[in-house]
Amino acid sequence: MRLPPLVYLLGLVSFLMDVASEMVYPLLPLFLSGLGAGPGVIGLVEGVAEATASLFKVVGGRVSDRLGRRRPLLLLGYGLPALFRPILALAQSPWQVLLYRFLDRTGKGLRTAPRDALIAESVPREALGRAYGLHRGLDTLGATLGPLLAFLLLPWVGVRGVFWLSAVPALLAASLLLALREPPRPQRVLPPLRLSRMDRGYRRFLLVSGLFALALSSNAFVLLRLKGLGLEERAVTLAYTLYNLLYALLSYPLGGLADRVGLRRVVALGYGLYALVYLGFALAPSAPFGVAFLLLYALYSAAFEGASRAYLATLVPAEERASAIGLYHTLTGLLLLPASLLFGLLWQALGPRAAFGTGAGLALLALLLFLVDGGKRAAYPG
């Protein structure tokens, strides 16, 4: 079964927007430092940015469900980061960068749930894995290309020039959405969003996902571990680029595998792979072992990211799909802050083995909780 053109369109939009975002993101700490910002201010900027994205995901989903339309939220969510690029390119102080990051992440928050809901609504359930796998693959491919473009352009146009040029793929992404067509749906008067009204299977998955989110940490710690194992900085950068490329290439075929063997099985496999990878990072004796586990980490990302989104879409009714997806992303996104803080404190106090070992243990607990009572859930058609 071929995927509908809409899935490819949304994948291409995400590819272009990730190219634009990742052209900027690696340069921001250096840019802020050049404006006089210290580590505390840089941390504040990024903390506000990620919290904003997480909080607005449930807002975007709920508004989309009430409107009965996804396209307006997508236009707003992709348009804001494109239109406000000049704030960043012309910034003369850290608070202007903070303003840009706030608007940029607001856009990301508003678009995530409506986009994921639209993908689920455009394909039958038996193709959900491939649809989300394709989208995640194109998204990650953009994240791989963006830093490479910034690296190539930086000697010629400087940091601000890269910021200006990043507006080109961002505007292209927003412009492509003008071609998006969705079936008309009536506006709805929805009751307040309460977990008690949600399906039991969704609530259990939310609980499992919350526990698993505490096992997650910033990829910066993974790269720091590789460096600690003896990998040079340039080699660390190359290894991370390889991780992103492998993630992008494997997402679609592993999405197809999830459709064939079952979304739930691949989600469980993802939890298990994550536990194995983090245990590997805890025990790795040298850099080659660390790189091997980084490549296994790419396999986890490619398998889990698409399959978990597809599985989530089967747990919620169509009339509140974007709301439920947004709530999921908001919860897991907000928990990443305490997760990274916990990981960092464990690393500082007890070393990397304790930090990665704790992450592996929490992931294993999430897997066990996911497997318990797994057959007694309700599912909705894709």
DSSP one-letter string for 152-199: HHHHHHHHHHHHHHTHHHHHHHHHHGGG----------PPP--GGGS-
- The C-alpha atoms of residue 108 and residue 24 are separated, in whole angstroms, by 15
Contact of 96 with 45, CB cutoff 8 Å: no
- The percentage of the chain sitting over the pLDDT mark of 90, rounded to a whole number, equals 59
Domain locations in the chain? Answer: 5-179+195-371
Question: Is the backbone of residue 319 left (phi > 0), alpha (psi -120 to 50) or beta?
Answer: alpha
- What pLDDT does residue 381 have? 44
- How far is residue 130's CA from residue 256's CA, in Å, rounded to a whole number? 5
pLDDT, mean of residues 141-157: 90
Count Cα neighbours of 349 within 13 Å in the Cβ-side half-sphere. 8
Output the pTM of the full model: 0.86
pLDDT digits (tens, 9 = 90+) for 318-376: 778 888 899 898 988 888 778 888 888 898 899 999 999 999 999 999 999 999 865 44
- pLDDT (0 to 100) of residue 187: 64
Mean pLDDT of the chain: 89
What's the rounded Cα separation, in Å, for the pair 321 and 326? 8
pLDDT grade for 68, boundaries at 50, 70 and 90: confident
Q: Does the domain formed by 5-179+195-371 have CATH 1.20.1250.20?
A: yes
| pLDDT at residue 175, rounded to an integer | 95
pLDDT in tens, 225-250: 888 999 887 788 788 888 989 999 99
Mind listing the pLDDT tens digit for each residue in 175-221?
A: 999 988 877 666 666 666 666 667 788 889 999 999 999 998 778 78
pLDDT in tens, 275-292: 999 999 999 999 999 999
